A and B are shown apart, each in its own frame.
Chain A
Amino acid sequence: MNRRSFLTTTAATAVLAASGLPAFAADPLKIGFIYVGPVGDMGWSYQHDQGRQAIEKEYGDKVQVTFMESVAEGPDAERALTQLALAGNKLIFATSFGYMDSVMNVAAKFPDVKFEHATGYKSAENVATYDARFYEGRAIQGTIAGRMTKTNKIGYIGSFPIPEVIQGINAAYIHAKKVNPDVEMKVVWAYTWFDPAKEADAAAALISEGCDFVLQHTDSTAPQAKAQEAGNVYTFGQASDMSAFAPKPRVGSTIDNWAPYYIERVGAALDGSWKTQATWGGIGTGMVGIGEITSEVPEEVKAEAMALKDKIGAGEYHPFTGPLNKQDGSAWLAAGETPEDGVLAGMNFFVEGISAELPK
């Protein structure tokens, strides 16, 4: 649904409401989504939209779901959220970090509307948060990259220096280093979630620096296209599987799988058991999926990666397990120690061994 047909539905709903029709018992639960990018980005927003479609499939007539795509973070988000709330949506999913304050403001004005904010840390009676442990997937990418790199240089396209992204860089580096002590990590900050041309240039810069693995925390498939052009460079799918580029250059992926969570939360809203909460799921809960590891990856490396995945999924291993030092050499985790979630969620430093500077 685009914005225009959204407006029409809104208007129609307003007319119905004004005509004073009695509410039917079988009224569907109205659910709204806002996405930061286009659903066709094949990455982040695409994956949230897959979750939205899963809700429709699961609950059919019991729900009525609308979405608005490419809603800019900031005032526009507040307007979009207000519009969704006014249109009678009782459960609203806001799917980007930057929507956080808008969600809090709008939620305060509509206490009977339930809000769910992805990747945020502020909550209220009617605002729940949910996030995925993407760093668990990064640990697996790091392992594969560390084993397979020939140049011992691994490139990483960062979006913004926020904890979620820093966790990913650290996790990838730690696990690459673990299997290959000579490995070096190069980081380029794109300062965008989605700008295919810039992402392509960032990939080209990393490749020209000799990186034969390019990891990314931006949402388009442009880096995959660049890697393919270069020929001997590998990448991973980000957020979505990006399987169009398999078996090479894309050799694996970290997939955000929001569908089970969305289905569960909509179910809770339908039966009245919805309560505010903070969810941080990972491989174990299925929120983070690992796409097919392709035939380009040697069997023994694949086995090692899958074993790591199983251990993380079973909760036997934490990607941040000490001994680990911070970049400046100061101690962070003692041997065998793992960090608390609160520390991880506020991570603002690189681990020891990464030479790139973290922008402050």
Chain B
Amino acid sequence: MVGGIDIVTLGATLMVASTPVLLAATGELVAEKAGVLNLGVEGMMIMGAMGGFAAAVTTGSPVAGFVAGALAGAALALLFGVLTQVFLSNQTATGLALTLFGLGLSALFGKGYEGVRPPPTGKVPFGPLADLPVVGPILFGHDWVVYLSLGLVAAVWGFLKYSRLGLVLRAVGENAGAAHALGYRVVGVRIAALVFGGALAGLGGAYLSLVRVPQWTEGMTAGAGWIALAIVVFASWRAERVLIGAYLFGGITALQLQLQAAGYAIPVHFLSMAPYVITIIALVILSVLHRRGAQAAPADLGRSFHAAR
């Protein structure tokens, strides 16, 4: 207890509360690094939440649920990829349409799953580690998806920074024409990046409906996809900052509710906007300190690429 706030609960809640946004933001980071702006994150998340929930309830296996959630998100992203990369539709408009499409479609397919309870997702057995005071419940008391999400952030960071394929992906995002001239398949790389991003958004959505809430209700993402999009921008397209942003946002969201419960005399309106304001300020300061903020966006972000032969 620090100042009436239970740090252990806060820490544990933070890990769970941040995971959906972290997964979606990591996926979007990869897509944007390849030069595609997909504003349909919310739509992909809710499809993941719905598809994952349906699969988990039908099969009784949460693992099947997470796989289905990722597939549902990936399928929607593939649709976006075909429309924007092959048929060269406007990315902004198509992304917005994807969000509306996902919200509507998930509501339609989800009708039969309201009021149903999903199978519980087990916690990872860390044995004695989980019994450590303070650190145990915060770090070692979660289900495997929390650790998977952290692993994915690390993997994406390493992939973009050190691997040859990551370099190609970044080249496609920075200068699609040059990458094409060098013989790389711009459209292929972009669609692959989009599908990966969609899978992570779907996984995040499934986490929301299977672990965080856990239930299915129409519109349950309630803007989480938009927050993921914002975090990618404010994190100036860097994986480690996406992690900081998502955890900060989730942490302050949980903290503001805890402050209220503890009876702190801070105006409630201020508390409820705090997660947005503080996350943005922190990430802006980070990018100013490293002097790469506004310039960090991939140069070809949001531009359609059509190879002129």
- Where the two chains meet, the residues of A that have a C-beta atom closer than 8 Å to any C-beta of B are 2, 37-38, 40-42, 70, 155, 161, 186-192, 194-198, 200-202, 204-209, 211, 220-222, 225, 244, 355-357, 359
Nearest CB of B to A53, in Å:
15
| Residues B114 and A201 in contact, CB atoms below 8 Å apart | no
Contact of A206 with B261 at beta-carbon distance under 8 Å, contacts A200-B213, A225-B213, A359-B268 already known: yes
Question: Which B residues are CB-close (under 8 A) to A38?
Answer: 107, 217-219
A40, A41, A192, A356 — most chain B CB neighbours (10 Å): A40
The majority secondary structure among interface residues of chain B is helix
Contact of A197 with B208 at beta-carbon distance under 8 Å, contacts A187-B260, A205-B260, A208-B261 already known: yes
| Residues A208 and B222 in contact, CB atoms below 8 Å apart | no
| Residues B272 and A197 in contact, CB atoms below 8 Å apart | no
The docked-state distance in angstroms from the alpha carbon of A208 to that of B257 is 11
Question: Which A residues are CB-close (under 8 A) to B214?
Answer: 225
Nearest CB of A to B216, in Å:
8
The docked-state distance in angstroms from the alpha carbon of A15 to that of B253 is 51
Nearest CB of A to B275, in Å:
10
Identify B261's interface contact among A195, A209, A220, CB under 8 A.
Answer: A209
Question: Which A residues are CB-close (under 8 A) to B17?
Answer: 197, 201
Within 8 A of A (CB), among B264-286: 265, 267-269, 272
Nearest CB of B to A166, in Å:
13
| B117 close to A (CB within 8 Å) | yes
The docked-state distance in angstroms from the alpha carbon of A200 to that of B207 is 14
| B263 close to A (CB within 8 Å) | yes
Question: Which A residues are CB-close (under 8 A) to B115?
Answer: 40, 42, 221, 244
| Residues A244 and B254 in contact, CB atoms below 8 Å apart | no
Q: Write 7 A-B pairs (CB below 8 A) sorted by A numbering.
A: A197-B224, A201-B254, A202-B257, A204-B13, A205-B258, A208-B261, A225-B214
Residue of A nearest to B5 (CB): A208
- Where the two chains meet, the residues of B that have a C-beta atom closer than 8 Å to any C-beta of A are 6, 9-10, 13, 17, 20, 104, 107-108, 110-111, 114-117, 208, 212-215, 217-220, 222, 224, 253-254, 257-258, 260-263, 265, 267-269, 272
B111, B213, B218 — most chain A CB neighbours (10 Å): B213
| Residues B254 and A205 in contact, CB atoms below 8 Å apart | yes
The docked-state distance in angstroms from the alpha carbon of A339 to that of B6 is 40
The docked-state distance in angstroms from the alpha carbon of A194 to that of B213 is 12
| Residues A222 and B213 in contact, CB atoms below 8 Å apart | yes
Question: Which B residues are CB-close (under 8 A) to A42?
Answer: 114-115, 217
| Residues A200 and B212 in contact, CB atoms below 8 Å apart | yes
Question: Which B residues are CB-close (under 8 A) to A209?
Answer: 6, 258, 261-262
| Residues A40 and B267 in contact, CB atoms below 8 Å apart | no
The docked-state distance in angstroms from the alpha carbon of A70 to that of B218 is 9
Which 9 residue pairs across A and B have the least CB separation, nearest first?
Answer: A40-B114, A208-B9, A38-B218, A205-B257, A359-B268, A205-B261, A205-B258, A209-B261, A196-B213
| Residues A225 and B215 in contact, CB atoms below 8 Å apart | yes
Nearest CB of A to B246, in Å:
14
| Residues B261 and A188 in contact, CB atoms below 8 Å apart | yes
The docked-state distance in angstroms from the alpha carbon of A32 to that of B103 is 23
Residue of B nearest to A243 (CB): B115
Question: Which A residues are CB-close (under 8 A) to B263?
Answer: 186, 355-356
| Residues A208 and B213 in contact, CB atoms below 8 Å apart | no
The docked-state distance in angstroms from the alpha carbon of A37 to that of B114 is 13
The docked-state distance in angstroms from the alpha carbon of A192 to that of B215 is 18
The docked-state distance in angstroms from the alpha carbon of A208 to that of B254 is 11
| Residues B222 and A222 in contact, CB atoms below 8 Å apart | no
Nearest CB of B to A198, in Å:
7
Question: Which A residues are CB-close (under 8 A) to B6?
Answer: 208-209
Residue of A nearest to B224 (CB): A197
11 further interface pairs, Cβ-Cβ under 8 Å (given A42-B115, A225-B214): A40-B218, A42-B114, A155-B261, A191-B268, A195-B222, A197-B224, A204-B13, A208-B13, A208-B261, A220-B213, A356-B263
The docked-state distance in angstroms from the alpha carbon of A220 to that of B212 is 13
| Residues A198 and B222 in contact, CB atoms below 8 Å apart | yes
Contact of A188 with B260 at beta-carbon distance under 8 Å, contacts A200-B213, A208-B6 already known: yes
The docked-state distance in angstroms from the alpha carbon of A159 to that of B274 is 18
The docked-state distance in angstroms from the alpha carbon of A202 to that of B116 is 22
